[in-house]
Structure 1
Amino acid sequence: MKQKIREWLRRYLPAEVLSMVATLVGAWLALQGTHSQLSAALAGTWAGNVAYFGYLLGQDVLLARRACHAQNRPYTRRIFGRNVRALAVEFGPAEVLDSLFIRPALMYYLPRWLGSFGAGIVLAKLLADITFYVPAILSYELSKKRLRNFGDE
C-alpha cells in the first residue's frame, strides 16, 4: 500500500500545488475585478482545473512519448487521443460533481462563513479534494492497464 500511496503522490501532488496557486490567483483576480464572491468561486474553480489537468495531460503525454520513443514508434494523434481518454475515464465522474457543484459551493460559502477569503478558499479546496480523489484514484487504477499501457500498440 505504501508503494501505491507514493505513486499517487507522485502523480497528483505536483498538479495539486499548481492547482492551489492557480485557484488562489484566479479567485483573487476575479474578486478584485468583479467584487463578486460568486465570480471568484467560479474563477478559482476553473483556474485550478486548467492548471491541474493541464499538468496531468502534459505528464501523461511525456510518458507516452517516452514509451513510443523507446519502441522506435512515433507519438501520434491516436495516442494523444488515448491520453485524453485516459484522463476522462480517470476524472470524468468525479470532475462533474466537483466542478459543477461541490467545489464552487464550498468556495462561495466557506470564505463567508469563516470571514476570511484566503482561508475559506484554501479550506474549500482541501475539502472538495477529499470528495474528488476517492473516485478519481479508483478510476485511475482501473484505467492503468487498458488506457495507459503504450507497449501494446
Structure 2
Amino acid sequence: MTTIAHSPTTAAQSDDDAAHGARRRGLGFWITRYLPAEIVGTAAMLIAGLGVTIWTGNPAVIALAGLLGETLGFYAVLAITIYIEQAPVSRNRRVAVGRTMMLLVAEFGLAEILDTLLIRPALLMAGVWLLADPLWGLLAGKVIADIVFYAIAAGAFTVTARTGLRDGSRAEEQVS
C-alpha cells in the first residue's frame, strides 16, 4: 500500500484558488447571479415610476419613484440569493443573516452610493426628459446606469471572493 502525503492548504494557496476562480467567472455566472434581481428590480421600477404618472408628469418625481421601486425589488432578490449562498458556510441563521448583510454592503456599497446619489437619478431623469414616453425614458436611463453600476459591483464581488469573505474561510481563520 502506497501512502501519498498531502501538504495542508495554506491561506496563500486558498487566496490564489479564490482569485483564480474569480477571474474565470464568465458571462453565464454574472447573468445567473444578477438577472433575477434585474427582472424584479425593473418590474418594480416600471410599476413605481409609471404609477406616479397618475399624479404627476414631473420627470424628477417619476425618476425618484422608479429609483425607489427598482432598489427595493433588486435588493430583495439579492438578499435572498446571498443568504442561500451563506447558509451552508454559517454556523446558524443569525450568522448567515449577518454575513448576508456584510456581503451586500461589501459587494454593492460603493456602487450603490454612487448609483443612488448621482448616476441613476441623473440618467433616469435625463431619459424621461429626452424621450417623450416615460416608459422608454426610464428604460434608457436604467440601461446606461446599470452598465456603470455593474462595472463597480462586479469588481467588488471579485474582491470579496479573492479575500475569502464569500466562502467563510476568513471567518474560520479568525475563530481558529
Runs ≥4 in structure 1, deviation > 4 angstroms? none
Partner residue in 2 for 1:129: 146
**By how many angstroms is 1:99 displaced?**
0.9
1:52 and 2:74 correspond: yes
1:75 to 93, 102, 110: 93
The count of residues paired between Structure 1 and Structure 2 equals: 148
What TM-score do you get using the length of structure 1 for normalisation? Answer: 0.87
Decide which moves more: 29-38 or 83-92: 29-38
**CA deviations over 1:35-81 (Å, ceiling 9, x no partner):** 4321110110111011111100111112222445xxxx4322x3311
Any stretches of 5+ residues in structure 2 without a counterpart? Answer: 1-22
Name the SS of the counterpart of 2:92 in structure 1. coil
Higher helix share: 1
**By how many angstroms is 1:34 displaced?**
3.5
Partner residue in 2 for 1:37: 59
Verify the 8 A CA contact 2:63 2:128 in the aligned structure 1.
no
Name the SS of the counterpart of 2:26 in structure 1. helix
C-alpha RMSD of the superposition: 1.8
- Could you tell me how far apart the structure 1 residues matched to 2:99 and 2:34 are? 19
Partner residue in 2 for 1:113: 130
**CA deviations over 1:82-137 (Å, ceiling 9, x no partner):** 11111111111111111111111111121221212111110100000011111100
1:98 to 115, 121, 138: 115
Name the SS of the counterpart of 2:164 in structure 1. helix
- Could you tell me how far apart the structure 2 residues matched to 1:30 and 1:147 are? 40
- Counting aligned pairs with the same residue, the percent is 30
Larger Rg: 2
What TM-score do you get using the length of structure 2 for normalisation? Answer: 0.76
